[in-house]
Structure 1
Amino acid sequence: MARVELLDPKVHGELRYDARRAARENRDRFVQIAPIEFPLVAVRYPIFLSKDAETGGFYFGAMLGIDPDENLYAGDDAIAAPYRPLQLQRLPFFLAAEGLAADLENPYLSETGPGETLFDFTGEYSDYLQTVRTALVALHNGMDSGRALARTLLEHDLVESVEIELSFDDGSTRTLEGLYSVSRDSLSALPDTVVTSLFRSGDLERIHLLLASLKCVPMVAARKNARLG
């Protein structure tokens, strides 16, 4: 169970976070992202919509693996990856009204192990924690725009369910379900006035980035194929 506490240098001044080990051992197959991340994500990972199991609302995510609990981009070089989604950059920290909080049950937080310090010698946030705070603020602001974009796609009937069949060299297959994307046919059929509105709001660019990111599915599949080999 999570134990989230507001970070206080007098209480947590000796805490360290082993970010390298956390990145190396991460097992998140599908990571929620914000539209501000689309330009960086779309050239590296496929972007899909999925439904929140609790609310039924749509959210955007980057696909990092094929099987459950599988991040094909984790490993020794994960921390130095060209881009890691903000959701992974910010773990296990949270924004709070009074500052930053952390889940003290996170296995990569400790007072004795290696890792990044959370506070400097003056009791201020360390450079690492400042970077985390920047990621948290960007993610917090971006989630609102993500919900707005999802509503826009639904309003114009642009969301469609997709099912992806993958075959691998060892003879095994995988079927990816529960994913959604933008319907190219519905997008092409939109009235010019709607297209103009989407263009001026920046949503049309985000839609095209989402669609372009689907070319990354074979890249993820190739990583899986290499592991199966």
Structure 2
Amino acid sequence: MAKIVPLSTEKHLNIKLTHSNDFSRFSKEHLIPVLAREIPSLVAEFPIVFVKNGETGQFIPVAIMGIEPEVNLYCQSNQWDAPISPIGFSNAPLSIARTSEEGDNVIVCIDEESPMVSEAEGNRLFTDEGERSEYLTARTNALLDVAAMHQQTQAVCQFLADKNLLVSQQLTIKLERSEQKININGVYLIDDKALNELSDEDFLELRKKGLLPIVYAHRASLNQMSRLIAKQNQFDKLQ
């Protein structure tokens, strides 16, 4: 269980962090939120689709890492075997949180229960004098960059939604274990027809915002469903 608390010199002066590619903590999350900026690189491995937040109505890009709920086919062991991983996977055990809903001030938090936290080995977060280490400064800057990219992602999704490019579609797949096909619902794709019917003005705006690489990468990523099906078939054989 995670125990996330604000980072402080009083409690964490001697804490060190190690690096780990053990992403098994995501083993039950088959849809992993990603950032718009990383979509063109992630498509080399994962199908990228959009899902809708039922409470806010906001769209979120996600990498599909499993066909069935609560089974992430990439994170069933502590060995990550894909050539690329989402940026968010590398944040732990640090995170940032707003100090208030209205303001922009943030604090750095740490998951004290993470296996990457120890006093024995790794990179120190603070110096003996209680100052931030260069390592912590770099990690904090990386977290702030991710937070900024998250805001950019929200803006990208809102723009696509405003242009009516995100359309609800059903993905249908066939696994070796069953004669029946499986339908994956609740996903949204950038619709080719809607994209082709954009006015010249809207298409130019899409290009000027630098969104065309993201649009085309998302469409190309759907070809990775065959990779995911193969991983599911292999997973089923081992059960």
TM-score normalised by structure 1 residue count: 0.84
Measure the CA separation in 1 of the matches of 2:231 and 2:175.
Answer: 11
Q: Which moved more, 1:134-143 or 1:149-158?
A: 134-143
Q: What is residue 210 of structure 2 aligned with on the other side?
A: 202
Does 2:8 correspond to 1:8? yes
Residues 1:92 and 1:120: Cα distance change in structure 2 (over 3 Å) = closer
The answer for the alignment partner of 1:47 in structure 2 is 48
Structure 2 counterpart of 1:26, one-letter code: F
Q: Describe the superposition over 1:93-142 as per-residue Cα deviations: whole angstroms up to 9, x where unpaired.
A: 212546521233x4535547x87445265453474x55643442232111
Shift of 1:39: 1.7
Q: Report the counterpart of residue 71 of structure 1 in structure 2.
A: 72
Give 1:189 deviation, angstroms. Answer: 1.0
For structure 1, which segment, 161-170 or 92-101, has the greater mean C-alpha deviation from structure 2 after superposition? 92-101
CA distance in structure 2 between the aligned counterparts of 1:118 and 1:196, rounded to whole angstroms: 48
Counterpart contact for 1:19–1:115, Cα < 8 Å: no
The answer for the alignment partner of 2:162 in structure 1 is 155
- Contact 1:14-1:117 at 8 Å conserved across structures: no
d(CA) in 1 for partners of 2:15, 2:202: 52
In structure 2, stretches of 5+ residues that fail to align are 98-104
Q: Does structure 1 conserve the Cα–Cα contact (< 8 Å) formed by 2:30 and 2:67?
A: yes
Distance 2:68 2:19 in 1: 24
Whichever residue aligns with residue 185 of structure 2, its letter is: E
Give the match's secondary structure for 2:23. helix
Q: CA RMSD in A?
A: 2.7
Q: CA deviation at 1:3?
A: 4.4
Distance apart, 1:185 and its partner CA: 0.6
Q: Does 1:216 align with 2:213?
A: no
- 1:86–1:136 CA contact under 8 A, matched in 2: no
Aligned to 2:100: none
SS at match of 1:20: coil
Unaligned runs of 5+ in 1: none
Corresponding residue for residue 178 of structure 1: 186
Q: Give the aligned length.
A: 225
Amino acid at match of 1:77: Q
1:88 matched residue in structure 2: 89
Structure (1 or 2) with the greater helix fraction: 1
- The answer to which of 167-176 and 130-139 deviates more is 130-139
CA change 1:224–1:56 in 2 (3 A) is same
Q: Name the TM-score, length of structure 2 as normaliser.
A: 0.80
Q: Quick one: distance in 2 between partners of 1:208 and 1:30?
A: 20
1:101 to 104, 109, 112: 109
1:7 counterpart letter in structure 2: L
Is 1:15–1:109's contact at 8 Å kept on the other side of the alignment?
no
In 2, the alpha carbon distance for the partners of 1:7 and 1:132 equals: 13
C-alpha spacing 1:41/1:133, structure 2 compared with 1 (3 Å): farther
Partner of 2:32: 31
How many Å separate the matches in 1 of 2:69 and 2:6?
32
